[in-house]
Amino acid sequence: MADVRDAKLDFTLKELTFSHPAKHEDVPGSSSTVELQDNKLVCVEYPGVFSSADRMLATLGSEQKVTKTYANPSKRLELRYRPQDPFCHSLYGNRVASGNLLLRVRRRVRKNDPKDAEIHMDMLGVIGTTYKFTGLADFQCLAVHSEGGKHTSLYDKIILRKPESQEFFEQPMPYFLPPPIFSRLDSPVDYFYRPDVHLNQMLGDSKNFIGLNRAGRPHNAIFVSFTDPIVPAECLEAAKVTWKRICMNECDKRGEEQLKKMFESRPIWSRNAVKANINLHPDKLKLLLPVYAYYMVTGPWRSLWVKLGYDPRKTPEAKKYQMLDFRIRCSSKHGYLLSNIPIKAKRSSLNYSLPNTLNKLAPQPASVMDLPTQEGPSSSRDPAPVTYQLKESSYIFREGMLPPHRQMFYQVCDLDVESIQKEIEQNNGNEQHCDERDGWCVVGTTDKLRDMISAMIKAVIRAQKPALPELPKRRRRKGQSVKDVYAEEEEDEVGEDENREDEEEDEEDEFQPSEGSENEMETEILDYM
């Protein structure tokens, strides 16, 4: 194939029509050769007529924001017709692939002889991406209060344009709490709230009917609660059939052998621990785990995978495999705030995107068997092989290290600290009862372990960053009596006590969950629903 830069495109001008309707004449055309420039361009089909390019770019959020949106293929291009209004609901453009050419045509006409015209054409580049605004704008809501036939603007009362005093925040204000979006869809859909009889009949007759909603995933995992009397000894037959169907290459068989040996050496594993020891695609690992283990939902082994036939409630040796839900404690009482801790949260509300701001996901593999493998010879030009293995710090804790996230799910055997292991083994040989909260350990052990880990993490953070500065002591002003100073100090002490109580209450609300967070467990359970 010839180089794109050397490509030539021939255009034939068949007819030229002049602007004056009464004096148009046909002019025979001629061929012209235009050089195709190798410039990649992005087109935005702007839904409006504009006279100022700067004002048009302001509605798109500036040229930098358009560039940032283009860098993320999953984002839709946002357009705000009132960019200065924070309550303006946006219009979103879909990103579509295109193969258009941008052609610039210039016509020069002599003033004395209109028939004498010159046509100049330049090919500026190829448009590979186009943003099209095909949807409707969301419902608009102005910050206006209507009462008694009068409309009052609320923008100056609810938008901070400069530093304000306390009176600004204490002034009476009508309620104005519009939602971030009114509709998840920007394309009209005809829905008459009537059941589709024909659809229901087809669903009842055929199991392979392709409907509008995703069918439920095959339920191959077995969930067990702490109160269930028995545990399963074998997996579901569907789990074996599914894994045999997708186990097509050597890396899958090698991963199966590794997982089998792991459960023979240790009957209980967390998902992160398995991912850190097996380099297997998460979607395939999700189908392999139910073949060798069941999932505990409640109790001291919640959110863990237990070997089939193994009941940790009847074996005191299973104490070392219990789960500890640990969360980093940070408040002004501890001397550190969230911003002072160099550890990121697993999930952040700041990264949340509204559903109407995202494009549909790119086409995924048709099945799990189409996923890339780690096999085959590779050359220097091939990209580096993809690894799905997690780091060791994702499930192991050692003294002097910081956890990768603010909330961690550790198994007590993975707490590689001598003092912690002594606390766990203090009742070895004297285990009498398996408690739903503390398992085979002494009652209250989980809280002690959290305190010990928190103290170790605090020492590491304190060595990296100094604590918050203390407030200076109050001095007596001129003309102020000692009695007034004592009165102010008493008020400050009362205020500090109240603040300390509030902080303790907030801390209890935030770090009390001895039962653990269900977010991680719900995320894993949803994979099998």
Of 115, 129, 124, 58, give the one whose Cα is nearest residue 88.
58
Is residue 19 assigned to a domain?
no
Domain count, the chain: 2
Give residue 385's pLDDT band: very low, low, confident or very high (50, 70, 90): low
Residues 126, 261 share a domain: no
Q: What pLDDT score was predicted for residue 30?
A: 59
Asked whether the predicted pLDDT for residue 367 surpasses 70, the reply is no
Could you tell me if 104 and 249 lie in one domain? no
CA pair distance 466, 266, nearest whole angstrom: 42
Same domain, 233 and 338: yes
Instruction: Tell me which residue of 516, 504, 401 sits closest to 447, measured CA to CA.
Output: 516
- Could you tell me how far CA 419 lies from the centroid of its own chain? 37
Helix and strand totals (H; E) in the chain: 13, 16
CA distances from 8 to 2, 27, 34, 224 (A): 10, 25, 6, 69
Last residue of a domain, one of 132, 155, 187: 132
Torsions phi, psi for 357 (to 5 deg): -100, 0
State the DSSP code for 475: -
> How far is it, in rounded angstroms, from Cα 313 to Cα 322?
11
Judgement on whether residues 127 and 233 belong to the same structural domain of the protein: no
Instruction: Give domain status of residue 510, yes or no.
Output: no
Query: Structure tokens of 94?
Result: 């879909």
Co-location of 456 and 341 in the same domain: yes
Helix, strand and coil in the chain, % to nearest 5:
35, 20, 50
110 and 235 belong to one structural domain: no
Q: Considering the domain boundaries, does residue 407 fall inside one?
A: yes
Q: What is the pLDDT of residue 496?
A: 46
Token pair 């967390």 is at which residue? 270
Q: How confident is the model at residue 55 (pLDDT cuts 50, 70, 90)?
A: very high
Instruction: Tell me the CB-side half-sphere exposure of residue 263, using CA atoms within 13 A.
Output: 21
> Which tokens go with 314?
């009847």
Question: What is the CATH number for 56?
Answer: 3.30.200.160
What span, in angstroms and rounded, lies between the C-alpha atoms of 150 and 141? 17
Residues recorded for the chain: 529
User: 330-362 pLDDT, tens per residue?
Assistant: 766 666 666 667 776 666 666 667 777 877 644
Q: 190 lies in a domain?
A: no
- Report the Cα 468 to chain-centroid distance in Å: 32
Instruction: Return mean pLDDT, the chain.
Output: 78
The residue with greater pLDDT, 73 or 2, is 73
* pTM, rounded to two decimals: 0.58
For position 500, what pLDDT does the model report? 43
Domain identity same for 301 and 400: yes
pLDDT tens by residue, 153-195: 998 888 888 888 898 888 888 888 888 888 888 887 777 777 6
- Predicted pLDDT of residue 182: 86
Amino acid 138: pLDDT: 85
The answer to whether position 471 is within a domain reads no
Two structure tokens written together for 151: 């409309």
Verify that 313 and 419 share a domain, yes or no.
Answer: yes
Q: How far is C-alpha 23 from the chain's CA centre?
A: 63
Rounded average pLDDT over 470-491: 49
- pLDDT value at position 480? 53
Share of the chain above pLDDT 90, in %: 36
Asked if residue 253 and residue 126 are part of one domain, the reply reads no
Does residue 108 sit in the same domain as residue 225?
no
Question: How far is residue 475's CA from residue 489's CA, in Å, rounded to a whole number?
Answer: 10
Beta strand residue intervals within 412-471, DSSP E: 415-416
Within 8 A by CB and 6+ apart from 448, the residues are 423
Give the model's pLDDT for residue 25. Answer: 46
Q: Indicate the range of 71-75, 173-177, 197-201, 314-318 predicted with least confidence.
A: 197-201
Check whether residue 239 and residue 118 sit in a common domain.
no
Question: Pick from 123, 158, 129: which is nearest to 141 by CA?
Answer: 158
Q: Which structural domain, as residue segments, surrounds residue 400?
A: 220-347+387-463+519-528
Q: Are residues 298 and 425 in the same domain?
A: yes
User: Is 379 within the bounds of a domain?
Assistant: no
Distances (CA, A) of 207 to 51, 200, 204, 480: 57, 12, 7, 86
365 occurs within a structural domain: no
493 pLDDT above the threshold of 60: no
Is residue 270 situated within a structural domain? yes
CB atoms within 10 A of CB 324: 22
Question: Phi/psi of residue 246, each to 5°?
Answer: -100, -10
Mean predicted confidence (pLDDT) in 480-501: 47
**Residue 515's closest CA among 422, 447, 416, 417?**
447
- Boundary-marking domain end, from 132, 151, 186: 132
In angstroms, what is the C-alpha Rg of the chain? 34
503-497-163 Cα angle (round to 5): 65
Of 98, 132, 166, at which residue does a domain stop? Answer: 132
